[in-house]
Amino acid sequence: MNRDNQTPLTTSLSVETETIPGSEVLIRSLMAEGVDTIFGYPGGAIMPVFDALYDHKDKIRHILVRHEQGALHAAQGYARVSEKVGVALVTSGPGATNAITGITDAMMDSTPLVVIAGQVNSTLLGSDAFQEADVIGVTQPITKWAYQVRRAEDIAWAVSRAFYIASSGRPGPVVLDIAKDAQVLKCDYAYQKTTFLRSYHPLPEVEEDKIKMAADLINSAKKPFALIGQGVILGNAEEELRAFLEKGGIPFGSTILGLSAIPSDHPLNQGMLGMHGNVAPNIKTNECDVLIAIGMRFDDRVTGDLKTYAKQAKVIHFDIDLAEMDKNVKTTVKVLGDAKQTLPMVTRLIENKSYPEWLEEFKPYEQKEYDCIIKNELYPENGGEIKMGEVVNKVTEATQNKAICVTDVGQHQMMATRYFKYNQSRSMVTSGGLGTMGFGLPAGIGAKYGAPGRTVCIFVGDGGLQMTIQEFGTIMEYGIDVKIILLNNNYLGMVRQWQELFFDERYSETHLKNPDFIKIADAYNIRGRKVTQRAELDAAIQEMLQHKGAYLLEVVVETKGMVYPMVPAGGNITNIILGNGYTL
């Protein structure tokens, strides 16, 4: 069958066919793709699918969220920790438009999703029918593929193609907009799994000469430095990366989304890159002679001012997406391909090396950051207000660094990414590229379903929590065992920080008068505890972790705390504000 001049080659063709409604075709197609969990919210235009789902509850678990944005973020959390495609199911009109933020977030962070939206009958399309919206027009710029299904016969084909596109190459979201009559009318069902599309090439061919050029450049380096992004995790190339770094003796820093690819305590690990990253890797980015970027896109929060970024270095860029090559940073060698394939090819050609003197150059900056910032953040004097960093540090230590860290967006996010530690991959779930407040709570729900055997710690702020606080209802209904750590400063903290630094302390609309969060949690049958004194903190964390079930730990932290270090937006990455009266 041909659609848009793209013909899939297929495998796993069902031998027998049945004549069944399109809604049943959809559910069986999802099962054929191995889907076991869907996050969704019903409505009129998707009701036939929910009716079909009723007969398959033993095979597909549906999690009824309280808002469609929650469904998308939950599907993201599920996908990020499970290595599977996340699936969300919503209705037409406002149901689909409520999902837009989550779809955009998934596109920015390369999260594989299949989003299925109901649509009005095909005969009503374009008539401004009740709850009609141009879902394809809205979502085409924020998806890998968006397709409207108007016939029952096309549903299985579209689902097969959707999962292939969402999960292959550089992952991302796909939207299927399915007309209601396509869900109701019957057709013959036979599922064919897509393995190839004629005009879609998710795995580019590796150029052997570029492999040799990269290896030669690395072998000639005196001060190599690697930047690790989420692409390594998405490509399941953690072991290949580790072998490459260790053979080459190459120190590295990580983007926020790449943080858990290599354990935090690895001797070559220099910490986090970027605006609120560690001092040493930012400084040394502008002092290395060969900069090796692996599965990252040179985001502006990492690079700062491109005019001053790594101008002294020869740049090698490993990535699966040609569009990222030379987009922001001009590269010397482009290694296009899947990191799981390209990294071993380069590793075979590089020399066994170590750079003890180069590594020593990082240490004074590490010590400076510890003395000026980290020591006070993690181990403050007993008399002062509780610090965000010390809470994060105590939680990660109490979990032996084995938990999944999920965050919302804001100051607490930066503190969590700075101080949470990891000993296995797929342990950091946060909104990176879009910076979506409200992401944390539903994403943590999805992460728990994606990795049910692991502890999920969700760090939220008082602002972001209230954007999706209705998902307490989802936690209550399904008894989801997530640990929610609310770092409450009664402010939109990150905006307030910028107002203090760059807007003459004019705190316009950033102070929050908050509700009693513990009472709200109690109304949802979620156990909770509020901590205002440092002496209570250790016991409260242990109580939270030992409790079987959801738990809200609200910690009242310093009202006007700051996240340091900080590189001002658009500034030179070596122009670092240390704060607290310290300068670099």
Residues known to be catalytic: 68, 130-131, 180, 494
Structure tokens at 211: 């492999």
The DSSP H or E segment spanning 461 is: strand 456-461
186 CB contacts (<8 Å, ≥6 apart)?
19, 20, 21, 22, 152
DSSP 3-state helix, strand, coil percentages of the chain (rounded to 5)? 40, 20, 40
In whole angstroms, what separates CA 25 from the centre of its chain?
A: 31
Question: How far is the C-alpha of 582 from the C-alpha of 236, rounded, in Å?
Answer: 41
End-to-end CA distance of the chain: 63
Closest-CA residue to 184 (of 22, 389, 323): 22
**Cβ atoms 119, 132 nearer than 8 A:** yes
- Number of C-alpha atoms within 13 angstroms, CB side, residue 77? 31
**Cβ atoms 292, 314 nearer than 8 A:** no
Closest-CA residue to 69 (of 118, 106, 30, 111): 106
Question: How far is the C-alpha of 397 from the C-alpha of 403, rounded, in Å?
Answer: 10
* Sole residue written with tokens 């920015």: 108
> Would you tell me how many other CB atoms lie within 10 Å of the CB of residue 337?
21
Question: What are the strands of the beta sheet with 551-556, ordered from one edge?
Answer: 428-429, 404-407, 456-461, 483-488, 551-556, 527-531
**Cβ atoms 190, 28 nearer than 8 A:** no
Type of residue found at 284: K
* φ, ψ for residue 244, nearest 5 deg: -65, -50
Question: How far is the C-alpha of 175 from the C-alpha of 113, rounded, in Å?
Answer: 8
Structure tokens at 495: 């905006």
Closest-CA residue to 106 (of 157, 60, 175): 175
Closest-CA residue to 408 (of 505, 496, 492, 509): 492
SS3 146: strand
Question: How far is the C-alpha of 584 from the C-alpha of 578, rounded, in Å?
Answer: 7
Structure tokens at 268: 């070559």
Question: How far is the C-alpha of 203 from the C-alpha of 557, rounded, in Å?
Answer: 47
Q: What is the DSSP letter of 376?
A: H
Structure tokens at 511: 């102070």
Question: How far is the C-alpha of 297 from the C-alpha of 300, rounded, in Å?
Answer: 9
CA torsion angle 49 50 56 58 (round to 10)? 150
